[in-house]
Amino acid sequence: MNCVKNCVSFLVVLCTVSFSLFAQPSKPEASRYPSGPFSDSLPLRRVVLYSNGTTYFEREVQVSGSGGVDLYFRSSDIDDLLKSLVILDPGRDIPPSVSYGSRDPLDRILKSFSIDLSRNPTLASLLLQARGEGVELWAGERIQGTLMGTETRAGGGAPLGEGSEEAAGDTSYPPTLYVQILSDQGMKSIPYERITTFRFLNPNLMEELAQALRYIRENRNTDKKRVTLSYSGSGNRVLRVGYILESPVWKTAFRLVLGEGQKHLLQGWGIVENSTDEDWKEVRMDLVSGQPISFTMNLYEPIYNPRPKVPYTVERQLPPPVYSSGVAPAPAASPETSSPSLKRSKANLASEAMADKSLASSLREEGKPASEAEGFLSPEVLGTSSMAEASSVGQFIRYTLQDPVTIPRRQAALLPILNASIEGERVSIYNEGTNRKRPLRGIWIRNTTGLALMGGPMTVFEAGQYAGDARIDTVSAGDRRLLSYAVDLDMEVLFLDNSLPETITRIRINKGNLLVSKIQRKERTYTLVNRGNTPRTLLIEHPTSAGYTLIEPASFEERTEAYYRFRKEVPAQARSGLEFRVIEEKPLESTVALSTLQSEGILFYLNQRSLNEKVREALSKVLSLRNELSQASRTRGELENQIAQITRDQERIRSNMGVLDRTSSLYQRYLKTLGEQEDTLAEAQQKLSDARKQEALKRKALEDSLATLEVE
């Protein structure tokens, strides 16, 4: 147990080496890095919260010359940091360099040092790793020499395993650790209890020990990673650092206090959560509503892209070629004329571009010091008002709080962003999809606050008491928006739908096609009942239908993508109800080929009242030609049937004659019948030929008539 205490004491000595009596002066770089999870050397100045779940943090500090600062972040935030980190150092056009801890395990990092602290080594094993190193210690006197090793002796000073059995087994004398030193005076064995100060003479080894212990301290909380910003320059200036991290979505909540007439009070609040491990102290805060595209990418973890293994190719040796003489080309441009463009390296070009685009350069051109800039992302859009100023920044709505904000770590706050008068008209709102029987009490606000309002919940108060809850979407300055917060129990709405059949409004003929225009009509009749003692302004949200046109009433209050809004004044005590009718019509067009339309179909269109006289005459002519063609087709069909019947009868007779005696009377009668049928068949075939020609003529006459027929 005493040995373990000695080991711990020795590590404490190593950790506090900078306070040693014989410690060498620290390097300037060794003292520049502050401690703590979030260093005050780079304090937080601005926080911009976005409604997409990200937050912009901006830090700034007055610096002089060269140096560096450390910041600590959660491991899960490093990817976002590497993707979004932006740094402004007005002292130089090139930003400071950034370094951060590797994702390698702690054991692997510690094993990379000269003295391995990875497995919680004992004092003896730790000193054995440093054998041969020069040391300096104070044990009643100053001793310098080379570390040879350690030795643990039993009580009384004898080494363990030597001396008397009584001394080795006497537990009243605990073992003692001795450090072996080879000095100029010879080999010395020094009890560890006498050593008050101990250090290695090799400064690199001392620095490695300090760095290894720092890694152990940092990895005590494995979720924290250090990021170091190293800057160089000249003169006093403000160093700014900004980055984007994931954060809880900030929210809005409103309170609407209804007053007399159309003047009301609107209060707006922003709900903000500080989910970080850092207190937000007197920071400037902006709340931004919008939908910026944001994503995460695996930038922190090393990614190795496997490469294909290609065999080494040995080219076949060629015989030495023999070259013929050539003709000298025209004189080339001198090196001086082409060298300027060739000597401009990519680094120089990048430096020139950054110098032209840097905010520091633009500030100096305007004669402003960099410290006067409010922020280096978009300083021109920030402003102040009594509570917050809202402005449109691209596709965003931005609330800039006037007063600095303080929110402790892991705490939330309700921040006022609005306290203004607003105009609004009391209405009742009927929507069959919300409540089929009763409308809702609501208010039609006009955003006269001068600020854009972000969507969120709204609590409504009326006559000194709670009236209900409402929700709003984003409302631009000067825009109107409906809110509903309670059911209107004094009002009732009934409706009846009436769908009418399609009505033909117009018939035209174009190149043998019948073009028919129709109207599909639907009606809805609302019955409005007000049993209350006060009149109501009712807004009826009537659903729109694709392709339908509003016929009655002639106008509407406003229209959305899904609804018409009709305003209707309903007097008090209107128990019998007022009727309000909405009529919509949808035009339809159809095309019918007259060549395929039978006579019954033509007669249907001839009986339509909307048919004009020219079209009627044309259809009558088409009907006559169609009837003539039908008659010719029937005649041709009858002749074909007659011939087919005679042919079948002859086949039967010939079959019977095949089994009869040629001298029999029946055979002679069959023979006579066949002769008569042959005469009839020849006559029928002649008539069929004429009928087919006549049918073809009738069909051609109809087709020729339809091909050129155009009647409006």
Residue 487 located in a structural domain: no
CA distance 105 to 623: 95
Which of 537, 564, 593 marks a domain boundary? Answer: 593
Q: Which of 566, 593, 620 is the last residue of a domain?
A: 593
Q: Are residues 538 and 644 in the same domain?
A: no
**Inter-residue contact 252 to 271 (CB < 8 Å):** yes
- Inter-residue contact 458 to 501 (CB < 8 Å): no
Joined together, the tokens standing for residue 384 give 């102040």
Backbone torsion region of residue 261, taken as left when φ is above 0, otherwise alpha when ψ lies between -120 and 50, otherwise beta: left
Q: Tell me: the pLDDT tens digits for 613-660?
A: 888 888 888 888 888 888 888 999 999 998 999 889 888 988 888 888
Q: Tokens for 425?
A: 């008209």
Q: Assess if residue 612 is contained within a domain.
A: yes
pLDDT band for position 535 (cuts 50, 70, 90): very high
Is the predicted pLDDT of residue 224 greater than 80, yes or no? Answer: no
Residues 186, 241: one domain?
Answer: yes
Tell me if 225 is assigned to some domain.
yes
Residues 642 and 686: beta-carbon distance below 8 Å: no
Among residues 582, 612, 576, the alpha carbon closest in space to that of 711 is found at 612
pTM of model > 0.85: no
Amino acid at 118: S
- What pLDDT does 162 receive? 44
Give the model's confidence band at 552: pLDDT under 50 very low, under 70 low, under 90 confident, else very high: very high
Mean pLDDT of 187-208: 82
Same structural domain, 616 and 583: no
Distance CA 525, CA 579 (A): 7
pLDDT tens digit sequence for 291-323: 788 888 888 777 778 878 878 776 665 565 544
Determine the pLDDT at residue 20: 33
Stretch 225-230: mean pLDDT: 85
- Whether 29 and 127 share a structural domain: yes
User: Considering the domain boundaries, does residue 705 fall inside one?
Assistant: yes
Are 577 and 619 found together in one domain? no
pLDDT at residue 110, rounded to an integer: 67
* Shared domain check, 531 and 674: no
Whether residue 236 sits in one domain with residue 157: yes
pLDDT for position 185: 84
Mean pLDDT of 668-692: 89
Higher pLDDT, 328 or 344: 328
Top-confidence residue, 556 or 369: 556
Cβ within 8 Å of residue 712, ≥6 positions away: 508, 612, 614, 615
Q: Does residue 353 register a pLDDT over 60?
A: no
The answer, yes or no, to whether residue 581 has pLDDT greater than 50, is yes
pLDDT grade for 219, boundaries at 50, 70 and 90: low
Nearest-5° Cα angle at 437, 434 to 442 = 55
Q: Is it true that the peptide bond before 369 is cis, omega within 30 degrees of 0?
A: no
**514 with 563, same domain?**
yes
Whether residue 103 is predicted with pLDDT greater than 70 in this model: the reply is no
Instruction: Classify residue 218: in a domain, yes or no.
Output: yes
Cα 529 from Cα 523, distance rounded (Å): 20
Please report whether residue 302 resides in a domain: no
| pLDDT over 50 (residue 590) | yes
| Of the candidate ranges 346-360, 567-581, 670-684, the one whose mean pLDDT is the lowest | 346-360
Instruction: For the chain, report the end-to-end CA distance as a whole number of angstroms.
Output: 115
Helix, strand, coil distribution of the chain in percent, nearest 5: 30, 35, 35
**Confidence grade of residue 159 (pLDDT, cut at 50, 70, 90):** low
Q: Do the domain assignments include residue 252?
A: no
- Alpha-carbon dihedral 358, 360, 366, 371, rounded to 10 degrees: 140
How many domains does one find in the chain? 3
Q: Let me know whether 563 and 646 are in one domain.
A: no
- Predicted confidence at residue 325, as pLDDT, reads 38
Same domain, 142 and 119: yes
Q: Which of 558, 593, 628 is the last residue of a domain?
A: 593
Same domain, yes or no, for 678 and 706? yes
* pLDDT for 117 beyond 80: no
Q: Percentage of residues in the chain with pLDDT exceeding 90? A: 26
Residue 564: domain span: 494-593
Q: How confident is the model at residue 255 (pLDDT cuts 50, 70, 90)?
A: very high
For residues 630 and 549, state if they share a domain: no
In a domain, 621, yes or no: yes
Give the model's confidence band at 270: pLDDT under 50 very low, under 70 low, under 90 confident, else very high: very high
